Amino acid sequence: MRSLDIGATGMLAQQMNVDVISNNIANMTTTGFKRQRVDFKDLIYQNINKPGAPSSDVNTLLPTGLQLGLGVHVGSVYKIHEQGALQLTENPLDLAITGDGFFQIELPNGEIAYTRSGIFQVNENGELVTTNGHLMEPNIVIPDDAISIEINENGEVYADIQGQVDLVNLGQIELATFINPAGLEAVGDNLFLETEASGTAQLSNPGQENAGFVRQGALENSNVNVVEEITDLITAQRAYEMNSSVIRTSDEMLQTTTQLR
């Protein structure tokens, strides 16, 4: 009985949907997190009579045919790279991006990763690093005698050095943009890797070309909408229950069939 298998595909698909929604809710307070959505696709159809096939009447064609769907599957799980709300922290090393773009992070193996989380610190060498100790790329070094750090919206980093009248330029923050950010590979710790689907990273200074601006003393919250996630969770739960009802009804029909004498 096809309905047993069809109902099972629906339950499996909704289980993954619940998993994705759960991950969104779990990361609702994760800095720079981007929510995910499930893309459902119908499975292959069984063509009993194809549309346009000859009908039983002479010189006529079937206008619609007879095609039976065999269920659903998850086509993809994609991230929605919408802007999250900004949270002011007044920490001079907290940075947020308003608009498109990612900070560049150098991993221990030399590979470049990308992130929207702008929580930075200074390591023992005065270099700007993530909370995991990964270097920002391009590398920015803060002098030991720096009294304060100023980063403008264009990504220029300045330091107020003790004994000097003018601010000292320490470097330039560059942002990476992608033609298809949804194609980036998420590897955890708010990091993404470039893929063929995302396209090659396009580097530019904040505020130039397609890159957004940098906001010092602020962080970008996740773009998870809790109300929307709870609504989607309830919808997924009801869909799961309905598919289980399909399996239960099909089982009852099979029992009736086997009891016939």
Domain ranges of the chain: 2-80+225-258, 86-220
Task: Return the minimum-mean-pLDDT range out of 36-40, 51-55, 181-185, 246-250.
Answer: 51-55
CA distance 246 to 201: 47
Tokens representing residue 181 in the block:
């950010």
pLDDT, residue 195, reads 97
Tokens representing residue 76 in the block:
């993809």
Is residue 96 within 8 Å of 218, Cβ to Cβ? yes
Give Cβ neighbours of residue 88 (< 8 Å, ≥ 6 apart): 217, 218
pTM equals 0.87
261 has pLDDT over 90:
no
pLDDT in tens, 210-247: 999 999 999 999 999 999 999 999 999 999 999 999 99
